[in-house]
A and B are shown apart, each in its own frame.
Chain A
Amino acid sequence: MGTCNHKWQMTDIIYGYLVVQGCPRCGDRASFFSNEPAAPIEEYMEGDHFWAHLGSSQATKFNLKCTECHEIVHLDDLVGLMMSTCEEPQCYVANIAKSEGKMTSVYVALCSDSTHSSGKCISTKGIDSLNEYFNQNIKTPGKKILVVPCNKCCSIDMCKGIVIADVGLTEIY
């Protein structure tokens, strides 16, 4: 155990909605994945929070399974991936992207607790397996994908990036 040279593949793939909600009382923001036929938009109370719907987009959720040792890494705490384009000088993510160089693309693994009021984020095991999975499939010489947890972002509002979600595909303007 612990010596497997993992060969990850996606498993338990489900398609649904990434729903973002906010609490106007405390300013917290959170998100969750819903596999209902339509994205839920209802407001609701949860303890002191009054969660209001801020937006939703089609997205996917998955776990990773090793085809060699059959270990499964559950990514229940992962709600999305964001390609970082942040250039804020005080941002860890921006700085690590700069130090890694042009051949590395940094992606932020987004957890459900966007403002991290619970103190939790994506597990280290989850981040490690995501890095192994995406890099094992790359064929371009020298190219690297670096996945980091979203608690490394400078700010939920200031840290810039492109969230991999299908925004607006169910709407007609």
Chain B
Amino acid sequence: MKISELASKTGLKAISESVDKIIEGVYISDMASDIITNAKANVLLITLQTHKTLIAAANLIDVSAIAFVKGKRPGQDVIELADRVGIALYSTEDDTWTLASKLAKLGIQ
């Protein structure tokens, strides 16, 4: 499923414009060291963390998009870095569990 379609079905709000990539799965983590050892390419990363380190880790793995939960929003420097490496950023007021449940109902796990 494309990110744009997924976003409209789950209420994710785009923080930045980016390539409308395909999402093949979901990974939930707040730790960069965990992301580089366990996440896979083309996943949607769900996280609370808004630090630049997360973008550096996600880019290395070729994560498609990042969804910040609980209304978290990264700084402009983080948005610019994500834009530069082609990672789409989204935000939601949902908590991790609620967003993950919505994605599971759509068959994305």
Contacts and interface: CB of A to CB of B under 8 A. Distances in A.
Q: Are A and B interaction partners? A: yes
Interface of A: 10, 13, 15, 58-60, 62, 81-83, 85, 102, 105, 107, 134, 137-140, 143, 145, 162-167, 169
Contacts of A81: 36, 60
Contact of B37 (A60, A82, A107, A166): A60
The prevalent SS among residues of B at the interface is helix
A145 B31 CA distance: 21
Interface string B28-56: 00111110110011100000000111011
Interface of B: 21, 30-34, 36-37, 40-42, 51-53, 55-57, 59-62, 81, 84-86
A102 B85 CA distance: 8
Contacts of A83: 55-56, 59-60
Given A163-B56, A164-B60, 4 more contacts: A62-B37, A81-B36, A83-B56, A162-B56
The 8 closest A-B CB pairs, nearest first, are A83-B56, A60-B33, A162-B56, A139-B41, A138-B62, A164-B32, A166-B31, A164-B57
B85 to A, nearest CB: 6
A137 B41 contact: yes
